[in-house]
Amino acid sequence: MEIAPCRTYHAVTSSVNLIEIPHRKSAFKIYYLSIIGRDKPEVYEWEHCTLTKDEFESTLITSSQEGVGFVTAFPHITKIFRFAPVMETVLDISEFDTEGLMGKDCSREGGYHEFACYAEAIIAAEEYHAWAKTATVSNYLAYRCSTTDFPVSNNSKLAEFVSS
């Protein structure tokens, strides 16, 4: 197995906002996430990028996205998670470049597909748990993920394991 070097990772929630799209009976909680401590903060941090959160929300509202779920929006990549209309106990996911919401291919070698970074995985787990335990969509939409700090202590442990 060949291991590619991995950059440091410490994500934080910048803010969370609920958008509702009544004409499509859709609603998404947007988790604005930044990766702090890297070079080029304009690429990884909402506070330094050129795209505003209002511009992002306007693009999302006018897009064809529909459903109920949540969005993990970094300045460089966005994932939309929705509870599947054909089987609402399943979580669907689509990936996009954040600016313009153009589709992004997150396929990996060997038939794998990127599911999530650490922040996305924690948010997805908490959101899925909220979906499972709430009785109504309104109750679900009121929930927010309680975790807001997502540091990875060692971003090279897999490389160390493989090389040992």
At position 40, the amino acid (one-letter code) is K
Better-predicted residue by pLDDT, 4 or 36: 36
Is the entire prediction scored with pTM above 0.85? yes
Run of H or E residues at 82: strand 78-83
Cβ count near 120 (within 10 Å): 22
For residues 119 and 132, what is the distance between their CA atoms, to the nearest angstrom?
20
Q: pLDDT tens-digit profile of 91-132?
A: 999 999 999 999 999 998 889 998 899 999 999 999 999 999
151: three-class secondary structure by DSSP: strand
pLDDT at residue 46 in the model: 98
Q: In what order do the strands lie in the sheet with 26-35?
A: 102-103, 91-97, 78-83, 68-73, 26-35, 10-21, 149-151
Percent pLDDT > 70 in the chain is: 100
Better-predicted residue by pLDDT, 145 or 114: 145
Highest mean pLDDT among 28-32, 59-63, 109-113: 28-32
Task: Give yes or no for a contact between 132 and 112, defined as CB atoms under 8 angstroms apart.
Answer: no
Q: pLDDT tens-digit profile of 11-28?
A: 999 999 999 988 889 999
Please say if the pLDDT value at position 164 is more than 90. Answer: no
